[in-house]
Structure 1
């Protein structure tokens, strides 16, 4: 089954998404997500100029060979842009294979390991009371796991919250440049434990709670935070420190028994190798869009399972519903699946462009059994939402030093 055409779309139904459509000679098509937030057009260029011309005429069934061809054949093979392009093609090929086999992709991966996908949602707020209120609302909706993020008092912008509840486009105004946030580790360490103390006092310990530090503190500072949060029994502490120097997690692991999660910026298994084999983390959070697609994610899961590490794929709002559906199939299959980040059901604009079906019952996400990934893309609807240049914020310390966002 030869590849006849590959189309690349970039649209903005609230957020920018890069969508790939691979079409075979009999008209069967598959969809993939290649979004890299703030660098979307770089992926589009890589796809259109360097990937698409190499794939026309190739056999769409040869997923593994195409993956290796795009990875090893480029020589300059690592990095967010090239891997996102490979990921999008890989998802689309799995979608095609499922449609041709008339099976959902999880059956091609080996079948279900569970009846539904455990998810966690985000309870954010500008005050502790607002976060606690949002947590209570999610508990009433049936969610069993929630991430808590709260703005730091008297700080300009905190990860997980939006200044004045504006979105990134509003924060950038008519001249799109990265908005700037402000950071104080001292204020953060003195404030965040109170959030979890109040959450446990009000809702007890049956609800799973987690928190994202977003790599803003050093290993020894993270060790202190872990100790402070240990009484509140978090499901995991996410991205406590940067991952470039992986031994930072060794320091953290030796100082606290709080479970650790990281990996949303990993592009290959090699990025995660030391952390997994040394058991410095408990959850690896690599996403299908940023980690090489389903082909690579399956390999990562198998390796992680040898070391008691579970998967918890990244599920931020800058990953399109195509990635969500790829994760649904992966999560149903992976024996060592842990939990899926879930930002909620799409907006009317997103659901006009992407057609898919998921349903949440008692903390588990379910989908209909459809051939392939179970999602479609409306090209005409996408035209109503043209690309808007946008950036994630940058972060500075109070003295102006550029810091990790």
Structure 2
């Protein structure tokens, strides 16, 4: 005899009898040999020896009932399930409504039994905790959450950042559109019935197997994205710029093999090649020192300083050839002279101020920040900076986070390092760097 919980309080929720099609009431009979679709019979049809296709009256059978105690001798399994369903429908604490829905127990019986066996029972609580941990472990394999230390970006719908993240939704740890998004369409019209022929049944099984293989490919791609941190593409690109240009080219060519190696092994592979590149560059420099007859590091420093001054002198000698092309245009010649004067004074060429009457140019008006995403996260000084530099708030917040993190990691930040991290106009980079330095967000190395 097999004892199972009932299907529900509603008789129409129970399966029908295979013979008379009436809704089953406990106890009823289940054939133990027929499957995978079970053959269920009421007691009257079972006593008449009902047979159907492969089902014979002499098959082994099971008596399905829930009339047995589970937690309390005075409560059957049917009453336990009914109590849980009533608490779910009426809410915890509404014991009078729960008793009215059960009809077999009083208000006090329902409250005392529920508190004793489902609230204050340590065995039941530990079982719930283990089930919850198993559910969390299962969902952790399918979802793609950010690490707890990260701040997952929440871009506006159809924005540039949202397109870069491929429609990733941080709140749901999933994508708007899955890979092979219409894989489920092949299963919408499939229904397994007993009248199917063997060929048709095998064909339906093959379609389900194909669908499972497509789901495995979808989960494989999600795992690669999660393990390698490819959700936030811009952050990934900022970390990529740490390497020299040659290592970045090699990194791009080896990105296709990241799916084969794990994230740690792939990072070690890239770091080893970056170290090899640095060693080769240092070896080449040492070989150059040896050719020049230099044998000490002090002499090497003097040689490097003299080499830089020699290159500067060489560039200055070529100024005459540069100015010849501007001789015919007075305005262009004046702009070139102002640029050279700014270089000689130690300023950036783009920071030299030229009057509009001499250049004929008009300064761009300040950027209007009304309605732009991220404006509410800026203070007044940062809004003024974004208006003058004509930088959208979202991009400014990303650049600020990158510079602050790099400064915290290295204990200081130079302008050259900031320009290597932020690939925008050097004039805008200098203004952002000076602003963050003045406000105390970063410090000089």
Same topology, TM > 0.5: no
Q: TM-score, normalised by structure 2?
A: 0.17
Where is the strand percentage greater, Structure 1 or Structure 2? 1
The structure with higher relative contact order (CA 8 Å, sep 6+) is 1
Where is the helix percentage greater, Structure 1 or Structure 2? 2
